[in-house]
Structure 1
Amino acid sequence: MLAIDVHRLRKQFKVQKNREGLKGAIRDLFNREYNQVTAVKDISFQIPQGEICGYIGENGAGKSTTIKMLTGILVPTAGDIRVNGYIPHKEREKFVQGIGVVFGQRSQLWWDIGVIESFQLLKKVYRVSETDYKERLDELVERLHLGELLNRPVRKLSLGQRMRCELAASLLHNPQILFLDEPTIGLDIVVKTEIREFLKSMNARYGTTILLTTHDLQDIEALCSRVIMLDDGNIIYDGGLEELKARWGKGKEVILRFPESVSLFRLQELTRGLEVSWSAETDRTAKVWIPQQGVGVSEVLSRVVGVMNIEDIKIVETNTDDIVREIYKTGSAEVKKELTEEREVTVRA
């Protein structure tokens, strides 16, 4: 069964045109003109129950607009949405019982009261029974280490503490789907790691579907098996994370450290015929670059390891951050066209 089913979703906004100068400002008071901006352009995707999917793109690509339509905050201009079988903006009361939402830059907690009081208010909003609330709260307090925070006003929490409380608040009613919009923004690496591990365990234990938007692609690598990439309101890639790396990664860099000085010429001779390039780091350390579609790492290493003593080996692969940054930085129409065609073939198949 599908947790999220989106078909040809579109969202347009009217944006006022501002004329220049004093005369222009006066004219704007009496005769306003508008441009129509399309933030999301007829996108379609499906997310099955229990999947953790990353939804990525540059600022202004349409990520947050999509999330707001999926959660019922915005009404689509056109297209069809089903989340847990409901149309979000039409069946609000039933719909919200099955979703949790965390917006990294907005809070669902009351600023001047204790965290536990916010939780109790949310319990009533979501109509959670006392038994279920207590059981759920105990688990969330233990897993997210909230014991010392419950009686503090939200305004006295650090960003990391508040985000842990926000996560707990979104999960008090045990939703089937969790929407996370920049949940780790501004957090240090320790808190980020704790939140990632918690989300993975929740998904494994309860089968919670998670749709995650983030600019921190380490979140994507740690949590998601699938990624949807958005650019200018269009989906330009929808597929596996490993597939994205395999298709658009530039290759691997293998760094070898030897117990004694090594000749770069000898290493080149050992790998003659292979499409690799060697460079010297120090007299005892060498680096070999292996293209993505070239020979395997095992073939390169087998030629060297069988002949020479090696103290240490380090394999550095092009990460998701580098791949996505390069795609957006180049703005290559060919890259985007290939990604789009690849997605369309997959959908037709």
Structure 2
Amino acid sequence: MTEPIIETANLGRDFVRTEGPLLRRRRRTVSAVQDVGFTVAPGEIVGYLGPNGAGKSTTMKMLTGILAPSRGRVRVCGLEPSRQRTRLAARIGVVFGQRTTLWWDLPLRDSLALTRHLYRVPADLHAARLAELTELLELEPFLTTPVRQLSLGQRMRGDLTAALLHAPELLVLDEPTIGLDVVSKSAIREFLLRLNTERGTTILLTTHDLGDVERLCRRVLVIDHGRTAFDGDLAGLRATAPTPRTLVVDLVQPEAPIVVPGARTVRVEGPRQWLELSTNPAAVVSEVARAHRIADLTLREPDIEEVVARLYRAGREEPTALPRP
């Protein structure tokens, strides 16, 4: 059998927090991650999800060797991250959406050249990979632009390039599309899919964007309060914690709250109304269109925060596992 590229068991990480008045300070141990266990096979794209403060970033830092676990076991690419961090760095790529690994005042091309030396990539291989990534991510127009002058979408493409120039087996992404416009998000998602399909690169990403998950991930892990709460596919997650979709209706002019079978009007602002759906959206749309003058319609899926919140409101304390897709 193929060895997992990520393997964790009973993984935990504690922090000591100092609290109280100045002359009566006391120390308290806080568990950011308590008992996380999962494996990721080579070639998978896995979404690692959960609300803010759930322990996602702490887990990522343990997987990449930035933090040592307080207890439990973790191996990435067959290595122990905190003890073999230098060897691991040569086999993984890491991108944090709100931080950059590029040199702020240097042109992008120079930043990528310095990255080559950090990873000790031979010049010919670096040139070949940079040419390929330049084409795939459309970097050419801004390779000579200082990083500080790049847009957020351009910088993210530069960070992805820097993380991939040494051809890592695993790509770890923390909020890779945060703050990006619709066009940039789509470009990043399509690139990641192609990277996984054509190169077989394993991808683990945290995100609050349901679009990232739906487009990229066949499998999702949900963590909350430091524990694994779900491991399965997105359909299974929604089935475990069903959350209604919302139909946003823009009427030609303001009207009384819409009343149709299979929907409940939960909000009205002028000509715009929000309907919480409990049945097939097509039937509701058809009924609304028949009885009202409509300017526009938008169907909104629940975001990950809503699904996870409902999962925990349901009182699920034990991990839920579904068959892998």
TM-score, reference length from structure 2: 0.81
Shift of 1:327: 4.0
CA–CA separation in structure 2 for the residues paired with 1:183 and 1:239: 22
CA distance in 1, matches of 2:176, 2:68: 23
- Aligned positions of 1:168-317 closer than 5 A: 168-249=161-242, 277=262, 291=279
Change (3 A) 1:318 1:111: closer
**Residue aligning to 1:319:** 301
Partner of 2:309: 328
Between the aligned partners of 2:97 and 2:263, the Cα distance in structure 1 is: 44
More displaced 10-residue stretch of structure 1: 46-55 or 239-248: 239-248
2:11 maps to which residue?
Answer: 9
Distance 1:317 1:121 in 2: 46
Aligned to 1:36: 29
1:141 aligns with 2:134: yes
1:333, 1:150 → 2: CA distance? 50
Is the Cα–Cα contact under 8 Å of residues 250 and 318 in structure 1 kept in the other structure?
no
Q: Which of 87-96 and 65-74 deviates more?
A: 87-96
Give 1:156 deviation, angstroms: 1.0
- The Cα offsets for residues 45-77 of structure 1, whole Å up to 9 and x where unpaired, read as 000001000011111100000000000000110
Q: Name the amino acid aligned to 2:320.
A: E
Find the residue that maps to 1:125 and give its secondary structure.
Answer: helix
Quickly say closer, same or farther: Cα 1:159–1:253, change in 2 above 3 A: closer
CA distance in 2, matches of 1:202, 1:83: 20
Structure 2 partner of 1:342? 320
Q: Any conservation in 2 of the 1:104–1:163 contact (CA below 8 Å)?
A: yes
TM-aligned CA distance change 1:49 to 1:317, over 3 Å? farther
Question: What does 1:70-109 correspond to in 2, within 5 Å?
Answer: 70-109=63-102
The residue number in structure 2 matching 1:50 is: 43
SS at match of 2:10: strand
CA distance in 1, matches of 2:243, 2:109: 49
Q: Structure 1 vs Structure 2: percent identity of aligned residues?
A: 43
> Structure 1, residues 211-238: CA drift from partner, whole Å, max 9, x if none?
0001112111111001111111111111
Q: How many residues align?
A: 293
Change (3 A) 1:241 1:331: closer
Name the one with the larger helix percent: 1
**1:234-266 deviations in Å (ceiling 9; x for gaps):** 111111112223443357899xxxxxxxxxxxx
Provide closer, same or farther for how the CA distance between residues 341 and 136 of structure 1 changes in structure 2, counting only shifts above 3 A.
closer
The equivalent residue for 1:313 is none
Aligned CA distance change for structure 1 residues 133 and 251 (closer, same or farther; 3 Å): same
Q: Assess, with a 3 A threshold, how the Cα gap between structure 1 residues 175 and 250 changes in structure 2: closer, same or farther.
A: same
Kept in 2, the 8 Å contact 1:251–1:317? The answer is: no
Of 32, 53, 57, 1:60 maps to: 53
Root mean square deviation of aligned Cα: 3.1
CA distance in 2, matches of 1:65, 1:142: 34
Distance 2:209 2:278 in 1: 27
3-state DSSP of counterpart to 2:5: strand
Report the Cα distance in structure 2 between the residues aligned to 1:110 and 1:215, rounded to whole angstroms: 27
Deviation at 1:331, TM superposition (A): 4.2
Aligned-partner residue type, residue 118 of structure 2: V
Structure 1 327/166 Cα, relative in aligned 2: closer, same or farther at 3 Å? closer
Contact 2:9 2:35 (C-alpha < 8 Å) held by counterparts: yes
Partner AA of 1:328 in structure 2 = A
Q: Which runs of 5+ in 1 are unaligned?
A: 20-24, 255-267, 269-275, 280-286, 305-315
Q: Which residue of 2 aligns with 1:260?
A: none
1:251/1:318 contact within 8 Å kept: no
Counterpart in the other structure of 2:250:
none
Greater Rg over alpha carbons, structure: 1
**Structure 1 residues 186, 17: closer, same or farther in 2, change over 3 A?**
same
Matched-pair contact (CA < 8 Å) for 1:253–1:290? no
| C-alpha spacing 1:227/1:145, structure 2 compared with 1 (3 Å) | same
The answer to whether the 8 A contact 2:51-2:308 is kept is no
